[in-house]
Amino acid sequence: MSPLKTARAAWRRLEPVHGMIYFVPEGRRRYADLGLSGRAGYFASRSAAFGRASAELVISTFYNFNPDFVRRALHGAWDAATPQQVLDARYAAAEEALRRAGIHELPALDEVLALTRRAAEAACEHPQGRPLFAAHAALPWPEEPVLQLWHAQTLLREFRGDGHVACLLSEGVGGLEALILHAASGEIPADVLKSTRAWPEEEWADAAERLRGRGLLDGSSLSDDGVLLRRHIEDRTDRLALLAYAALGDAGCERLAELADSFGRTVVEAGLLTFG
């Protein structure tokens, strides 16, 4: 496996350790206790590293959500709770959920943490042009090993995510257009992306027509050019993320990819990625 593919495998297999925070009831419950109900908890918790993030800052860095949806969700959020309260709630929810899954009992925790933290710390040497990552990189490292792993993977996720946004921008693909191309790939149903990102049907249809005009869609599926563009964007995203994983060397990256599989599966099998 090439270094690029190994790094992608290491990130993808461990990503459930971070991604579960957007699904678990522990998060929703703790945000609701602060007066943040519905999607306000998601937007406030992920942007709290910025401080009192404006809706416009969230729109720019989260990239693919309907701006009006973000404005409505964040209205009054920082009057209900301070950024530090939201951050504390997020970390507490992450630890509670990961312990419920049994991550703290996995025998390779120390080794996976050491490798993931090394990659995350390498990423921290390259914050330029990555605002959402940089905000999280400025947060202190937790003391609890389970939370250290979650924080490290959070940094790697936002590092990659900011690079992905840069790639989309460089190719003239807006947030809504990126969602439509993603749906056209068949990986996630369009209805799921429409509902979670709150795009009205009319705006979705107009953006899809623009993509057809660019030759990137054939009906509701990717055209040959659309397939090539998505592959180019994903490959470029992988290359930009490699700055972090290169610090592990080929052997370390391969080892992380090998060990990360059981961590991701543990989260999935515990139901932490099921919204409900």
Q: What is the pLDDT of residue 121?
A: 98
| Helix 201-213 vs helix 175-184: crossing angle, to nearest 10 | 80
Residue at token pair 């990239």: 63
Count of CA atoms in the C-beta half-sphere (13 A) of 257: 19
Mean pLDDT of 200-214: 96
Q: What is the pLDDT of residue 3?
A: 86
Percentage of the chain exceeding pLDDT 70: 99
Digit-coded pLDDT (tens) for 50-100: 999 999 999 999 999 999 999 999 999 999 999 999 999 999 999 999 999
Write down the H helix ranges in the chain.
3-19, 25-33, 40-47, 55-62, 67-74, 77-80, 83-101, 109-123, 131-137, 145-170, 175-184, 190-197, 201-213, 224-245, 249-269
| Residue 76 located in a structural domain | yes
Domains held by the chain: number: 1
| Residue 89 located in a structural domain | yes
Q: pTM to 2 decimals?
A: 0.96
Range of the domain at 99: 3-269
Query: Of 209, 182, 181, 179, which is closest to residue 194 (Cα–Cα)?
Result: 179
| Residue 205 located in a structural domain | yes
Instruction: Band the pLDDT of 1: cuts 50, 70, 90.
Output: confident
| Residue 275 located in a structural domain | no
- Higher per-residue pLDDT: 275 or 138: 138
Write out the two tokens for 136: 């999280």
Residue 2 predicted with pLDDT over 90: no
Neighbours of 202 (CB within 10 A): 8
| Residue 145 located in a structural domain | yes
| Residue 171 located in a structural domain | yes
3-state secondary structure of 221: strand
| Residue 193 located in a structural domain | yes
Q: What is the pLDDT of residue 276?
A: 56
How far is C-alpha 205 from the chain's CA centre?
Answer: 26
Mean pLDDT of 9-27: 97
* Average pLDDT, rounded, for the chain: 96
Mean pLDDT of 174-193: 94
Digit-coded pLDDT (tens) for 126-178: 999 999 999 999 999 999 999 999 999 999 999 999 999 999 999 999 999 99
Mean pLDDT of 26-54: 97
